[in-house]
Each structure stands twice: as structure tokens, then as C-alpha cells.
Amino acid sequence: MARKQYPIDVYLSPPFAIKRFLGLRQKHGDKAAVTKSEYKPEREAWITGVFLLGLSKIAKREFWLRVNTEDTAPDVYTISFVETARGITAEMQNVEVFEYESHAHTDIIGAIENKLKGKVYPDNYILLCYVHDRTGEVFNTNEIYERVKVLNLKIAEVWVLANILTPTNAEHVIFQVFPTANGCKFDYLEECKNSKQKDMINAKRGSAKKIEFIPMGKAILRLP
């Protein structure tokens, strides 16, 4: 299975995860990369990677991600490093990805409600709704936020990721609809080009006073 090829102690930068999926599309073709279940981990890493590029602009810090190697929740683990009065703290968040696409028979609020109905998640879980193949559909983010916030959802945060129709399809928007409202617009290809992040990190305990990146040699993560 594709999931088993991911090392459990290595986190990928969003640009690296995005480039891997673009490489997968070139290797196997767009239709296979986007539809085949065996490539779902790479799609989820791409979706989460694009989302984290936007979240980095809001949070003003870098994020890394790791695909879950087991067929259990969450789909993706994320890590970032936060400066506090006591030093550097590693902040972990878990991402559950679901896709709101052309086959959905409800509006986006109904899709979110159906996904979370009867479920209770720990307080570090994010639901990430990726909108695609909904050409022409208009989303009023304020209305979505007002309707979602009264659903009594048992999850820490709900975010939506969608692309904006442009010649390159690289412009995306993320917006938070639970428990507060937030968001930003960005060009993910430009963000990747300008990124200075390390491609891969192995999160280890180190100095509590500063973030240190220690070279650990070369690593190869082959495409499926």
C-alpha cells in the first residue's frame, strides 16, 4: 500500500509534498493521480500542503506534514514550532481531509455536517474541506460561518480550501468557518517557488531556546 512507504518519523514541507503530487501526475497522468484510491495519500498530502501554505501566511510560521501510515484517523499529521516565554514548543495538529466535489448532493454546510455527524474528535483535530469541480458555485464565507457555528460540532477547527479560476489555477483561498472566521488568498505555486523550507525534517528533541536544523544526510522518498 502507498501509505506504508512513508517513514513515521519524517515530516515533509508543504512545497515538497506539492511537488511530489505534481510528479505523480506527470508519471501516471492526471486522471489516475486524481481518482485512483492507491494515490489517495499523495492527494491528501497535496491538499494539506496547499492548505498549510495559506495557514503559514496567517500564523506567520512554517508547518510540516506527515501522512498517516495506518488506515485510521487522522489522514495527515502536522507539526510547527512556536516561540513561547519558556522557549520553543512543537505544536501538533491532526488533519482529516474530505472532498466536496461535483457528486455532492447537498450544499457545503450540509456536507460538513454530514461528515461530522455523530463524531467527537480530540481537541487538536482539524477538518479540511477541499472544494473542487464545483465550477460556477459561489461561496458566501460569512453565511457559511454563521450557519456552521451553530451546528455544535465536536472538532477544534473547520477550514475550507478552494481554488480561484485563473489561467494557471494556482490561486487558492482558505477560510475558517469554525469556531471563528479567518482566511487568506494566495498563489500556491508562487509560495512554493519562494519557500526556503527544508524539504524534510526529523523532529527530535533539542535546544528549548531556539529552532535548530541539523543535516542528517540525503533521503529518497520514491513516487509510487
Q: Which three cell numbers stand for residue 155?
A: 472538532
- Tens-place pLDDT, residues 139-185: 899 999 999 999 999 999 999 999 887 767 899 999 999 999 999 99
3-state helix, strand, coil in the chain (%, to 5): 30, 25, 40
Average pLDDT of the segment spanning 79-84: 88
How many CB atoms within 10 Å of residue 161? Answer: 23
- Separation between Cα atoms, residue 224 and residue 214, nearest integer Å: 28
Alpha helix locations (H) across 9-140? 14-28, 30-35, 40-59, 108-116
- Tens-place pLDDT, residues 85-141: 777 888 999 999 999 988 888 999 999 999 999 999 999 999 999 998 777 788 899
pLDDT band, very low/low/confident/very high, at 1 (cuts 50, 70, 90): very low
Instruction: Give kind and range of the element (H or E) at residue 175.
Output: strand 171-178
The answer to whether the beta carbons of residues 158 and 148 sit under 8 Å apart is yes
Maximum Cα–Cα distance across the chain = 51
How many CB atoms within 10 Å of residue 24? Answer: 22
Whether the pLDDT of residue 42 is over 80: the answer is yes
Whether the pLDDT of residue 3 is over 60: the answer is no
Domain ranges of the chain: 2-201
- Residue 72 vs residue 145, higher pLDDT: 145
The answer to whether the beta carbons of residues 39 and 219 sit under 8 Å apart is no
The DSSP 8-state label assigned to residue 60 in this structure reads: T
